[in-house]
Structure 1
Amino acid sequence: MPVTLDVNGQRYTVEPNGRRLLGVLRDELELFGTKLACGEGACGACAVLLDGKPVNSCLLLVEAAVGHEIVTIEGLSAGRATAVQEAFVAEDALQCGFCTPGQIVSATALLERVPTPSREDIHEAMSGNLCRCGAYPKIERAIMRAAGNA
């Protein structure tokens, strides 16, 4: 039975069929910014906002997302870079770029919750996001820059 999802402010009708949200976002809605990496919820590359909180879309069944506001990396900005995105570029915090969408989604959620985070706040909020390139110091600086603490 079809369900309706609210993604980036638009409504989509999809067949859940026991699928994960990540698959629907990429395969059906063609929102390719959200990445599949581990498929086990351990790396954060697939992070999206669900009612403003970061979740791993590779673990979330479509049915569990019904009735919630879903925001992907594409939905964070309306045609122009956000302060977090600009800070990631300024601090060169993207290296290969594969994990960057999930990092930016998680950082955005942190700054919505804690506008001037401490380093400890950043480490805790970003602990679910892995960067194989090891850009963690640059990611931390980017978040501090976006918060106005650069």
Structure 2
Amino acid sequence: MANSPTAINKRGTKVYRDGYTFDSAKEDYFYTEFVKKSGFDFDVHPKFELAKGGRLDRVNVRSVIYTPDFVIYDGIGQMTHVFDVKNSFGVYGIDPVVQLRFKLFLLRYKIPVEAVVVRTHDFKVIAQGVDRRRQPKTALVRTNINYDWIRATNYKEAYQ
């Protein structure tokens, strides 16, 4: 178990900007360089219910909630991107529990979560939960968020 990811080595230093609390400097950088400058409407850390909680026999069951880092909207208010900033595309960045949340989000809201790894002047992105997911070595590299999320998959439409 010594090599398994833990909350201690997965968390960054909190950054406060524009009234938001970001979980890491990379998340803050993605916000300032790509989200804020995009011109699109967006939400920071909105909450989405994936499974409703309630009373089950004699116990209460909590709802399953997912909070992405950023949700981007088009001009008519439709979600175009759901971003989750990660340190890597591997198990330290996206563990099996996170993968399940991503898949539940896709099934419920009909749009995949895009895992983002931020770099100095661009970011790598892979749509999660789809059956034709890009591999980390072929991640889509972007310098802005003005693209169709299908490009972050391995479907043939991604390469047209």
Bigger radius of gyration: 2
Tell me the TM-score normalised to structure 2 length.
Answer: 0.27
Tell me the TM-score normalised to structure 1 length.
Answer: 0.28
- Select the structure that is richer in helix: 1
> Which structure is richer in relative contact order (CA contacts within 8 A, separation 6 or more)?
1
- Select the structure that is richer in strand: 2
